[in-house]
Structure 1
Amino acid sequence: MINMEKNKVLIVEGSSDREKMEKLIKEPIEIVCTNGTISYSRLDEFVERFFDYDVYILVDSDTAGEKLRKQLKREFPLAKHLYIDKEYREVATAPDYHLATELVRANIDVHVNYLNER
């Protein structure tokens, strides 16, 4: 039987965002960070490297995050965009249960213990 599932990549802004996602996500998924902004050469590398991947984008709910989201949307028009509530502003400081819920909505498998609000 052939596995028709594509590899997945989650693009986040910073290393603290990546660490938080690694803790929450149960399935194999590559998590890469842009370190806030992304150069055109690095963006080209991403496009080439992740061409055949299911791409997910999760950035902060602030001006810089929205600017990055627009840039990534142009290069990955089929990407699934995940959003955090504006009240939390940053992925790194958003509650685990909130992030886990957003990941589940995008069909990303998470550790179930993070789905409960504490």
Structure 2
Amino acid sequence: LSGLKKLVKGLSDRFEEYERSKVFDAKRVLEKELVNERNEKEFYREFVREPPAEPSARPVPAPYPDDPYVVTRDAAIADAAIATSGIDDDDDDDDDIAPMDSQPHEPSGSPRDPQ
């Protein structure tokens, strides 16, 4: 049993001596560099060669020309453009033009007045 203890003690001493040696320090540095290199390769593989997918804007479906809403809307826009095409917004001679009433015309007198 004492021979086994001597063997374990000898191996333990040699291992401690090995850990303190320059070879062990160099091994530790190389392992650290290897880990860093693996991490860099993984980063390169994930982000440089295959960049993360950015959310893309979903295309809005184009209205169909046979859609009654679209046809009516486009016709109304065209009619409004035609109706206003002759109006001159730069006309400075506004003295002749009466202001437009935004309220509908009501007959004079109160609706409560007997007729």
TM-score (norm 1): 0.16
The structure whose Rg is larger is 2
> As a proportion of its length, which structure holds more strand?
1
> As a proportion of its length, which structure holds more helix?
2
